[in-house]
Each structure stands twice: as C-alpha cells, then as structure tokens.
Amino acid sequence: MHVTPAPSTDDVPFNEPVTVTLDAGQQGTISFEPKQRSTQFVLPICAVTKQPNTTYEVRTDGENVYGPAGVPPTDIDDLAVTFVPARRFERSLKVVISNVSNSTHTYHVQPVGYEVA
C-alpha cells in the first residue's frame, strides 16, 4: 500500500473500525474526528463493507468527497488506497450509508490514515 503523502515518524496513526446495522430503507451516518484538536488528518483509505442496494457517501469538513455511489470507496476486505493524493481535513469525517434494499444489512466502516504531528 502506497500512501501519498507518506506519514512522518512523528505522525499519529488512525485506524478505527465501526460496525453499524441498518434496517431496510434506513440511513446511517458514522462520524470521526481527529483526536488532537489542532491538527490535520490525512485520509488515504476509507473502507466500507460492500452490500447490494446501498449508496455510499464520504464527507470531510462538510464537503462531499465521494458519492453518492452504489459501491463503497474501497471494500473492507481490500483496504486499497481510496484517495490519491490522500484527502486532508481538520474537523470531521462523515461516512453516510443508505440501505435502499428490502432487508437488513450490517456494514463495517474503517477509515485508515494519520494525524499530522
């Protein structure tokens, strides 16, 4: 996996998986914030479980940077680099998942990146 820009040795890694179950027709928003309050967060990977009849969106600091799309930015089983160069944000990352199917689905959301030291 090649991350651009590469983290320095002082940067703080971030890998925080979250699981959410959505009933048919339900939407879920998963929010992440940098742990250090005055820093930039670098996000090269945003992985989400791929399910049929689902839409995916990614927002950083209120800006839509992915979707809405019928496929996730990358699947949780792949953990492939999503954004080249990596997205940067300072306040928040939101992953919005809409289950438009007729059945309940479980989704795993895993942003992987680092906070600039």
pLDDT band for position 37 (cuts 50, 70, 90): low
pLDDT band for position 3 (cuts 50, 70, 90): confident
pLDDT value, residue 105 = 98
**In the predicted model, what is the mean pLDDT of residues 28-48?**
89
pLDDT at residue 106 is higher than 70: yes
Copy the structure tokens of residue 47: 């992985």
Burial call 29-44: b when 16+ CB within 10 Å, e when fewer: ebebebeeeeeebbbb
pLDDT at residue 2 is higher than 80: no
Domains of the chain from N-terminus onward: 12-115 (2.60.120.1330)
pLDDT value, residue 1 = 62
Give the integer Cα–Cα distance in Å for 2 and 108. Answer: 23
pLDDT at residue 23 is higher than 80: yes
What is the pTM (predicted TM-score) of this model? 0.92
